[in-house]
């Protein structure tokens, strides 16, 4: 056997071993998740599309309170916020609160236009789509509508509540 054949066989054997190890690890992870579900530490049911869409309603209701702390309470520790009307990435609670302190001054009224829900597993869902916000200028009372693309990634917490772990919102590009 020449050097090239030996090297090729080594690469193939390594790839097969890695694939087998990955498959085993994935199976163990799924089995562990099923065991947790059966032991009661997480819900055994997958979220429904209606439940996921309702998470936005909760977020929108928190906006209507005008309290940035209540809005920030819907974000998990370590969540990432890429907000619509700010160029700063927010990765800490204080930064998320700061964004909403400013955003809420405009009395945002959000409406979803289009949603695509992906239920990834019992504890992870994604809601992606298009929404628009009517914003009121606090100085003049003038209203402005901002249409944006959004993605919310949610994770179910140990107590069964869903929190945002990643929220990206960006103004729609000009057509």
For residue 24, the enclosing domain spans: 1-41
- Position 16 scores a pLDDT of 39
Are 149 and 174 a contacting pair, CB within 8 Å?
A: no
Task: Indicate if 57 and 33 belong to the same structural domain.
Answer: no
Task: Indicate if 29 and 81 belong to the same structural domain.
Answer: no
Summarize pLDDT for 88-114 with one digit per residue, the tens. 999 999 999 999 999 999 999 999 999
- Position 2 scores a pLDDT of 53
Task: Indicate if 14 and 53 belong to the same structural domain.
Answer: no
Task: Indicate if 83 and 1 belong to the same structural domain.
Answer: no
Tell me the average pLDDT of the chain.
Answer: 82
Task: Indicate if 53 and 124 belong to the same structural domain.
Answer: yes
Residue 9, exposed/middle/buried by CB under 10 A (0-12, 13-18, 19+)? exposed
Task: Indicate if 161 and 77 belong to the same structural domain.
Answer: yes
Task: Indicate if 75 and 128 belong to the same structural domain.
Answer: yes
Task: Indicate if 3 and 63 belong to the same structural domain.
Answer: no
Task: Indicate if 23 and 66 belong to the same structural domain.
Answer: no
Task: Indicate if 108 and 158 belong to the same structural domain.
Answer: yes
Residue 92 maps to which CATH number?
A: 3.10.450.50
Task: Indicate if 107 and 148 belong to the same structural domain.
Answer: yes
pLDDT band for position 174 (cuts 50, 70, 90): confident
- Position 175 scores a pLDDT of 54
Task: Indicate if 23 and 101 belong to the same structural domain.
Answer: no
Summarize pLDDT for 52-94 with one digit per residue, the tens. 999 999 999 999 999 999 999 999 999 999 998 888 999 999 9
Q: What pTM does this model have?
A: 0.74
Q: How many domains does the chain divide into? A: 2
Are 42 and 123 a contacting pair, CB within 8 Å?
A: yes
Summarize pLDDT for 21-35 with one digit per residue, the tens. 443 344 444 444 444
CB neighbour list of residue 32: distance below 8 Å, 6 or more residues apart: none
């Amino acid at each position: 056997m020449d050097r090239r054949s030996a090297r090729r066989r080594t690469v193939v054997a390594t790839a097969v071993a890695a694939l087998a190890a990955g498959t085993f690890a994935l199976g163990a992870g799924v089995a562990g998740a099923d065991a947790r579900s059966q032991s009661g530490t997480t819900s055994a049911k997958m979220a429904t599309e209606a439940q996921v869409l309702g998470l936005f309603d909760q977020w929108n209701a928190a906006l209507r309170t005008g309290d940035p702390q209540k809005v920030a309470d819907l974000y998990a520790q370590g969540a990432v916020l890429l907000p619509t009307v700010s160029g700063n990435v927010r990765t800490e609670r204080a930064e998320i609160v700061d964004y909403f302190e400013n955003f809420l001054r405009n009395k945002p009224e959000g409406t979803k236009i289009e949603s695509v829900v992906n239920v990834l597993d019992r504890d992870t869902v994604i809601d992606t789509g298009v929404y628009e916000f009517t914003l009121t200028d606090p100085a003049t009372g003038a209203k402005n509508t901002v249409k944006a693309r959004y993605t919310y990634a949610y994770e179910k917490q140990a107590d069964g509540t869903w929190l945002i772990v990643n929220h990206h919102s960006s103004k729609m590009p000009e057509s």
